[in-house]
């Protein structure tokens, strides 16, 4: 008997395919190089959803740039931070501005992180205080 996976578990599985990939700013090739946006792009591509791939962003987005990019994504819908669920996309403040995104698993986040030099899965609790926005991947 085959058990059908939920949308959330597929999102997490597709994000986990990226773990170990080296960090490269604006990288888009799994196993070769990804940044945090590259991980999200990989997930959306694997699900078969449309996405905008804005590669004009600096390594440290400023002035709400990251949220504007995320708000324009056709397959993402902003939800209340308190509604965070596994499979959602988290936006984190690194210094002052929202500058980083990750896929939430329930206990961990999966993200390409310059400080580790690769895509990793880390404890969400280490990042929770820097959460600035939550987006849900939407599809019919």
Q: What kind and span of H or E run contains 33?
A: strand 33-34
Give the integer Cα–Cα distance in Å for 77 and 113.
Answer: 23
Both tokens assigned to 60: 């440290």
* pTM confidence score: 0.91
Answer for the pair 33, 24: CB distance below 8 angstroms, yes or no. Answer: yes
Give the integer Cα–Cα distance in Å for 102 and 113.
Answer: 9
| Domains of the chain, first to last | 7-137 (3.90.1720.10)
Closest CA to 114 of 25, 42, 37, 53: 25
pLDDT one-digit tens code per residue, 4-20: 678 888 999 999 999 99
Cα Rg, the chain, nearest whole Å:
14
Give the integer Cα–Cα distance in Å for 99 and 91.
Answer: 7
φ, ψ at 41 (rounded to 5°): -60, -40
pLDDT one-digit tens code per residue, 62-121: 667 678 888 888 999 999 999 999 999 999 988 777 788 999 999 999 999 888 999 999
């Amino acid at each position: 008997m085959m058990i059908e996976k939920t949308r959330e578990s597929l999102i997490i599985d597709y994000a986990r395919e990226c773990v170990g990939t080296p960090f490269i700013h604006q990288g888009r090739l799994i196993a070769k190089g990804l940044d945090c946006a590259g991980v999200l792009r990989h997930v959306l591509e694997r699900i078969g959803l449309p996405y905008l791939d804005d590669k004009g962003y600096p390594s440290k987005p400023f002035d709400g740039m990251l949220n504007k990019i995320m708000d324009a994504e056709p397959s993402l819908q902003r939800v209340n931070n308190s509604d965070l669920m596994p499979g959602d996309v988290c936006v984190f403040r690194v210094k002052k501005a929202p500058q980083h995104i990750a896929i939430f698993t329930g206990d961990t986040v999966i993200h390409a992180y310059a400080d580790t030099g690769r895509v990793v899965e880390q404890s969400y609790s280490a990042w929770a205080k820097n959460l600035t926005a939550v987006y849900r991947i939407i599809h019919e």
